[in-house]
């Protein structure tokens, strides 16, 4: 890039950059974030669910595996009442207590898996998109190969060798689910590295780590947060499906395990108070994380439009 065009670009950039203080910019970003009613709903819902995951066991009226008795008889399939708000299960457990206890393992599954997915996908996407050439070709062929791995048979083989451990299932889902995100991140990196500010940084001798850390990743944050939110929801749904198929530890009281137990009772439709609550909670968590991620992406899109030349 010629010196004259470089100076002209920097002059234009300085003229367009927001010179307001960071606190003012942050306040305006928060205003934009909370201006959407769906985003507000997502934030409030996610805070409630996270609080339930943290403090739920202290609020539950009974232990999740405590059998309930009345007159020395096991209380089985009792419908909702003042004593048991969501009724009882086949083994006399309080559904409301199991629902509260299930928030923590379900949230841990979702957020831990999403962290693994984004870490792998971002590393692969950044490397392939920025370096290009043979590195890009090799990594994309690896992604294509992993796309050919079917989820359920792979889960069965994984469990056969490593067992139905809680963290091993999280690791398995993280290793499998990063494929799609890496392609999107690669495409975004390939566009960002052609932007004028990246070209200027490169012409001034900026190193690859500096350019990636200073210019590439910050401009991908909206997409990263959105795909993290999507990965949380996808991990929760897949874990519920694996639990329903009996491929997860039945002694961990997640919402997916609740659905499996209700199905195994043979009275899934009849005992609706056991079936619908965990399904509703799973849907609520998935929707909340998506709405929060989409709201953050709106802020990042606005920031990029504000400084893009």
Is residue 56 over pLDDT 50?
A: yes
The answer to whether the CB of 129 falls within 8 A of the CB of 190 is yes
Tell the CATH topology of 102-307.
MetI-like fold (1.10.3720)
pLDDT value at residue 246: 82
Domain positions in the chain: 102-307
Q: What is the pLDDT of residues 288-306, one digit of tens each?
A: 998 888 888 777 666 555 5
Per-residue pLDDT at 71 exceeds 90: no
Q: Are 102 and 259 in contact (CB under 8 A)?
A: no
Closest-CA residue to 90 (of 244, 279, 301, 273): 273
Count Cβ atoms below 10 Å from residue 284 Cβ, excluding itself. Answer: 14
Structure-model confidence comparison of residues 262 and 201, the more confident one: 262
The phi and psi torsions of 67 (rounded to 5 degrees) equal -80, 140
**Model confidence over 145-166: pLDDT tens digits?**
888 888 888 888 888 888 778 8
Residue 285: CA atoms inside 13 Å, Cβ hemisphere, count? Answer: 31
Return contacts of 43-52, CB within 8 angstroms, 24+ apart. Answer: 43/291, 43/292, 43/295, 45/284, 45/287, 45/288, 45/291, 46/285, 46/288, 46/289, 46/292, 49/103, 49/107, 49/281, 49/284, 49/285, 49/288, 50/107, 52/100, 52/103
Token pair, residue 112, equals 């831990």
Return the pLDDT at 20: 46
Which two structure tokens, joined as six digits, stand for 101?
Answer: 């206890």
| Kind and range of the H or E run holding 90 | none
In this prediction, what percent of the chain has a pLDDT beyond 70?
87
109 closest CA partner among 45, 173, 17: 173
3-state SS of 92-108? CEEHHHHHHHHHHHHHH
Tokens 């999507």 locate to 230
Cα separation, 62 vs 94, whole angstroms? 7
């Amino acid at each position: 890039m010629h010196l004259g065009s470089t100076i002209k670009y920097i002059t234009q950039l300085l003229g367009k950059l927001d010179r307001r203080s960071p606190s003012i910019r942050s306040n305006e970003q928060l205003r934009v974030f909370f201006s959407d009613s769906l985003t507000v709903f997502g934030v409030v819902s996610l805070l409630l669910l996270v609080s339930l995951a943290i403090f739920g066991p202290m609020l539950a009226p009974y232990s999740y595996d405590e059998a309930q008795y009345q007159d020395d008889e096991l209380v089985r399939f009792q419908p909702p009442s003042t004593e048991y708000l969501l009724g009882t299960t086949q083994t006399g457990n309080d559904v409301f207590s199991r629902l509260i206890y299930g928030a923590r393992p379900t949230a841990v599954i979702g957020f831990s898996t999403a962290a693994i997915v984004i870490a792998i996908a971002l590393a692969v996407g950044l490397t392939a998109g920025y370096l290009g050439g043979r590195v890009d070709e090799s990594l994309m062929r690896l992604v294509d190969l992993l796309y050919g791995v079917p989820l359920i048979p792979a889960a069965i083989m994984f469990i056969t060798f490593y067992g139905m451990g809680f963290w091993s299932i999280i690791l398995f889902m993280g290793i499998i689910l990063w494929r799609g995100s890496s392609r999107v991140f690669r495409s975004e990196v390939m566009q960002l590295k052609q932007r004028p500010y990246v070209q200027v940084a490169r012409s001034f001798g900026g190193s690859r780590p500096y350019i990636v850390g200073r210019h590439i990743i910050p401009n991908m944050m909206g997409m990263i947060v959105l795909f993290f939110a999507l990965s949380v929801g996808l991990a929760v749904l897949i874990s519920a499906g694996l639990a329903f198929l009996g491929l997860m530890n039945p002694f961990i009281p997640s919402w997916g395990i609740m659905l499996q137990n209700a199905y195994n009772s043979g009275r899934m439709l009849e005992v609706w108070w056991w079936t619908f609550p965990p399904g509703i909670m799973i849907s609520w968590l998935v929707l909340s994380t998506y709405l929060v991620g989409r709201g953050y992406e709106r802020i990042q899109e606005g920031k990029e439009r504000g400084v893009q030349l």
